[in-house]
Each structure stands twice: as structure tokens, then as C-alpha cells.
Chains A and B, each alone.
Chain A
Amino acid sequence: DTAVSQTPKYLVTQMGNDKSIKCEQNLGHDTMYWYKQDSKKFLKIMFSYNNKELIINETVPNRFSPKSPDKAHLNLHINSLELGDSAVYFCASSPLWFSGNEQYFGPGTRLTVT
């Protein structure tokens, strides 16, 4: 049974479109994250979220927004997609805020903006 799942695995879309990536975790964790991995394999945190607090990396454009319908889900909405948004996006979860906790990552969603 997959611990952290993401859909879709691949997403190809045109500039200007709005898209969403879904993430679900069945680990019972309180905290979830979204990461962006660029073409050089550099992973950068975008958001960290639990049921009480959202921490946003200040470098993330406001076209990106996380939405959490419940503790097990954290979806990523992207408005007005740009070419530079092309990357692999990873969802992750952990029992608590970072503090040395293991993060469990999903398989990633490869987003290609044309």
C-alpha cells in the first residue's frame, strides 16, 4: 500500500493554463510538504503545512497555492503556468514539523509546460 501517492505522474500543459496536482498520505502524519526539483536535481521546499499552520517559502510565486481538504491530503494548485514552472514536484509527509523527523516522499509529478 503506497504511503504517499501523487497524481498525475506526468502532466503536460500549455502556458497560461491552471493545473492541480493531488497528494494523499495514509501514514497518519500531521505535516505535509511540497517540493520542487529542478533540472539540476536541486530540491527546494515550497510549502510546509499542518492543520494549524502554513509556512510558505517566500520565493514561491503566489500563482502556487496549497489546498488541504483534510489531514491526509495536500493538493497543489498552479495558476497561469509559465515555462519556468517545468520541474518535478514532490509531495512529502512527516509525523511532526521537520525537527529531524523522517520525511516520506511521493513518487513525484513531472510537469512540462509548453
Chain B
Amino acid sequence: TQLLEQSPQFLSIQEGENLTVYCNSSSVFSSLQWYRQEPGEGPVLLVTVVTGGEVKKLKRLTFQFGDARKDSSLHITAAQPGDTGLYLCAGERITGNQFYFGTGTSLTVIP
């Protein structure tokens, strides 16, 4: 079991549909980040959430940090083929000096 568990692991949807990806842990994090990784490239940061309950929007993407800072979600509205990729949550646990990535969610948006 990894420290940050994402669900679902794989997601294949039609263009225009909505979706939510979850990132859960039993540990408290000082902040959580969401990255997107495309094949053959390194992850690219989408957003950082710091405050419990925080909601951030990036165009059609909405990110939320749980009140207890143990979980986060990513919601995509009206998905487009360009949203296809591997979505990774990541964060620094509040205790210790270690950084963890989530297990990843591979999203495919079919035109």
C-alpha cells in the first residue's frame, strides 16, 4: 500500500464527459500538488493546494484539498482529448522530510 492512493487507476471517457480523480491518504500533508505527465516526458505541475478545504480552478479543472489535509480531488469538466495523460498527486508529509507521489491515474479522452 502506497502513502498516496489514487482512484481510479485507469479512466477512459468520451469527449465532453465530466470526471473526478481522487487522491487519498491516512497521513496529513503540508501541501498537495497535482501533476500531469504525457508519454515520454516528465511530470508538469498543474496546481498546489496548501490550506485545508482549499479549492482552486484552472480553466476546466477544479482541485480541492480535504479539510483534514489528508486527501484531494481533481474534477475535469467537459473533458477534451488534450486532457489525456497520467495524473499524479504528490505531497510532503507534515512529519518528516519526505516527498511522495500518488499511484497515478491514467486518463484517456476519446474524441
**Least Cβ distance of B66 to chain A in Å?**
16
**Least Cβ distance of B46 to chain A in Å?**
10
**Least Cβ distance of B61 to chain A in Å?**
16
Q: Give which listed residue, B42, B43, B99, contacts A98 with CB less than 8 A.
A: B99
**Least Cβ distance of B24 to chain A in Å?**
16
Kindly supply a per-residue 1/0 record for chain A positions 73-113, scoring 1 wherever the CB is within 8 Å of any chain B CB and 0 otherwise.
00000000000000000101000011110110111100000
Chain B hits for A45, CB < 8 A: 98-101
Is B88 within 8 A of A100, CB to CB? no
Is B2 within 8 A of A43, CB to CB? no
Chain B hits for A44, CB < 8 A: 101
Chain A hits for B48, CB < 8 A: 100, 102
Q: Is the interface of A mostly helix, strand, loop or mixed?
A: loop
The interface centre, meaning the residue of B30, B43, B98, B106 with most chain A CB atoms within 10 A of its CB, is B43
Number of CB contacts from chain A to chain B under 8 A:
57
State which residues 32-51 of A face B: CB under 8 Å.
33, 35, 40-45, 48
Is B97 within 8 A of A55, CB to CB? yes
Chain A hits for B40, CB < 8 A: 107-108
- Report the bound CA distance from A44 to B86 in whole Å: 15
- Report the bound CA distance from A18 to B21 in whole Å: 40
The interface of chain B, by Cβ under 8 A from chain A, is: 2, 30-31, 33, 37, 40-45, 48, 50, 86, 88, 90, 92, 97-101, 103-104, 106
| Given A45-B101, A90-B43, 14 extra CB contacts under 8 A | A33-B99, A41-B37, A41-B104, A42-B101, A48-B99, A92-B42, A98-B99, A99-B30, A99-B92, A100-B30, A100-B48, A100-B50, A102-B45, A105-B42
7 residue pairs of the A-B complex, CB under 8 angstroms, read A35-B101, A41-B37, A41-B86, A45-B100, A98-B99, A100-B92, A102-B33
